[in-house]
């Protein structure tokens, strides 16, 4: 497969509702939308999930633009790609980190590959599911009652699991009151690294609430302390930020740092690495689910495809477009029926780019041609 052109678009979509976590509040989403065009004129699409500020991890929209422009795009334009599986190891492994930048270009080439093979991205990746279960991620609200109101609305829409953002001071009382109203719903908490081992008692107190898991309670780059905590907690720990690679997953499993892993395609460097982590976790009895990064429909489409693999056992964060955006940049938008999304069977990501909306929400564009 020869790529003749890559187009980077700096996009800005306004979130319908501000999204607050332990490290800040997002009111809109600026991100890089990447289009890879083959010599036969087919376009593959993906997005970088890097945020504007280095608060979730060390990558940002600007660092991604630099790495794409100065390193990854020249490699892709100047090499013939036989299969997308080559990209992360044969072509990108000498470049350290920058996983979200790598995932953006690799994902677009995976979409392109699947379209050229006339198969869905799900099929190309080895997906087995025809539909996937999804949950919702609920940010920190201005009151516990607001949180309960959101849960009520999402329950009515059939979502299969409820993730609440927590941080010190917004944790035990929140979970206790939610559990009093909803004693049995599938409930989990995501701390985004807001705690340390000195908060051990606070965290262990969460064991009384039958949570599905607690996501990333400790430092974003820790594996060893999570192992100490998991030894003391009944509630399964799920790692998100700590797992950047297959190696991190191997170490976390070996040390017992977690019982569940949240896969984010961008965080681990792309679809090929996501599938390798999937296979390792399947061999070791570690269930997966697909995390979200407030993606547009393009990123959501990639998340749906990877979630169709068999060890994505738990509901993920890929909720409907309408929960995030007044209008999405794909057609049709991602919709959820009774907590389920049908995995597209069309070639590639299975959703078409909404060119008019892409143009409407594009801040700037840069085209890179094969020289
Ligand atoms: O896309 C979604 O709905 C999930 C959003 C979400 O939970 C997160 C988005 C971005 C970074 C983090 O704050 C957080 C996460 O840890 O998953
Ligand atoms: Mg998380």
State the DSSP string of 168-229: TTBSHHHHHHHHHH-SSS-EEEE-TT---GGGHHHHHGGGGG--S-EE--S-TT-SHHHHHH
Rounded to an integer, what distance in angstroms lies between the CA atom of residue 145 and that of residue 66?
Answer: 43
pLDDT of residue 24: 87
Strand-by-strand arrangement of the 3-21 sheet: 43-47, 24-38, 3-21, 362-369
Q: How confident is the model at residue 192 (pLDDT cuts 50, 70, 90)?
A: very high
CA-CA distance, 166 to 188, in Å (whole number)?
A: 10
Question: pLDDT tens digits for 252-266?
Answer: 999 999 999 999 999
Residues 6+ apart with CB under 8 A from 12: 28, 29, 30, 361, 363
* Mean pLDDT for the stretch of residues 278-287: 98
Ligand 1 site-directed mutation target among 30, 137, 217, most atoms within 8 Å of CB:
137
371 — pLDDT class (breaks 50, 70, 90): confident
CA–CA dist 289, 325 (Å, integer): 23
Q: Residue 147: count other Cβ atoms within 10 Å of its Cβ.
A: 22
Which among 190, 178, 124, 123 is positioned nearest to 154, based on CA atoms?
178
Other C-beta atoms within 10 Å of 15: how many? 17
Average pLDDT (240-254) is 98
- Among residues 165, 167, 259, 276, the one annotated as catalytic is 165
Q: Is the pLDDT of residue 38 over 90?
A: yes
pLDDT for position 162: 98
Nearest to 17 by CA among 138, 171, 121: 138
Q: Mean pLDDT over all residues of the chain?
A: 97
Distance 123 CA to ligand 1 centre (A): 26
Q: What is the DSSP letter of 256?
A: T
What is the Cβ-side half-sphere exposure of residue 253, based on CA atoms within 13 angstroms? 20
* Burial (0-12, 13-18, 19+ Cβ within 10 Å), 180: exposed
User: Using an 8 Å Cβ cutoff, are 65 and 32 in contact?
Assistant: yes
> Looking at ligand 1, which residue's alpha carbon is closest to its atom 13?
21
Is the pLDDT score of 310 beyond 90? yes
State the pTM of this model: 0.97
**pLDDT surpasses 90 at 98:** yes
Ligand 1 binding pocket, CB closer than 6 Å: 21, 56, 137, 190, 192, 240, 291-294, 317, 319
CA distance 134 to 303: 11
Coil/strand/helix, residue 153: helix
Mean pLDDT for 326-349 is 98
d(CA 322, CA 206): 32
As for the ipTM of the complex, it is 0.94
Q: What is the DSSP letter of 184?
A: S
190 in a labelled binding site:
yes
Digit-coded pLDDT (tens) for 49-65: 999 999 999 999 999 99
């Amino acid at each position: 497969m020869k790529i003749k052109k890559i187009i980077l678009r700096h996009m800005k979509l306004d979130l319908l509702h501000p999204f607050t976590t332990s490290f800040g509040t997002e009111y809109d989403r600026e991100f890089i939308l990447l289009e890879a065009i083959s010599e036969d004129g087919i376009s593959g699409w993906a997005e970088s999930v890097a945020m504007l500020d280095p608060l979730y991890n060390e990558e940002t929209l600007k660092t991604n633009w630099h790495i794409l422009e100065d390193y990854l795009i020249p490699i892709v334009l100047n090499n013939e790609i036989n299969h997308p599986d080559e990209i992360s190891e044969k072509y990108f492994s000498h470049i350290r980190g920058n996983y979200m930048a790598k995932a953006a270009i690799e994902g677009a080439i995976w979409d392109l590959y699947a379209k050229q093979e006339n198969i869905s991205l799900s099929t190309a990746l080895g997906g087995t599911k025809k539909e996937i279960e999804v949950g919702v991620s609920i940010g920190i609200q201005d009151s516990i009652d607001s949180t309960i109101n959101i849960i009520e609305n999402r329950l009515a829409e059939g979502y299969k699991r409820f993730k609440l953002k927590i941080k010190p001071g917004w944790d035990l009382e929140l979970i206790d009151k939610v559990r009093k109203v909803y004693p049995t719903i599938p409930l989990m908490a995501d701390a985004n690294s807001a705690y340390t081992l000195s908060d051990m008692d606070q965290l262990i107190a969460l064991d009384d609430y039958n949570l599905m898991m607690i996501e990333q309670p400790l430092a974003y780059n820790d594996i060893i302390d999570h192992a100490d905590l998991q030894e003391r907690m009944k509630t399964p720990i799920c790692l998100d930020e700590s797992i950047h690679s297959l190696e991190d997953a191997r170490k976390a499993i070996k040390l017992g740092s977690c019982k569940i892993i949240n896969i984010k395609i961008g965080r681990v460097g792309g679809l090929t690495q996501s599938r390798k982590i999937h296979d390792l976790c399947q061999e070791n009895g570690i269930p997966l689910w697909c995390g979200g990064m407030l993606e547009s429909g393009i990123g959501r489409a990639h998340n749906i495809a990877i979630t169709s693999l068999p060890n994505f056992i738990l509901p993920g964060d890929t909720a409907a477009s309408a929960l995030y955006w007044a209008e999405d940049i794909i057609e049709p938008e991602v919709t959820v029926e009774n907590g389920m999304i049908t995995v597209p069977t069309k070639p590639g990501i299975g959703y078409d780019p909404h060119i008019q909306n892409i143009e409407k929400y594009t801040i700037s564009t840069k085209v890179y041609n094969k020289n």
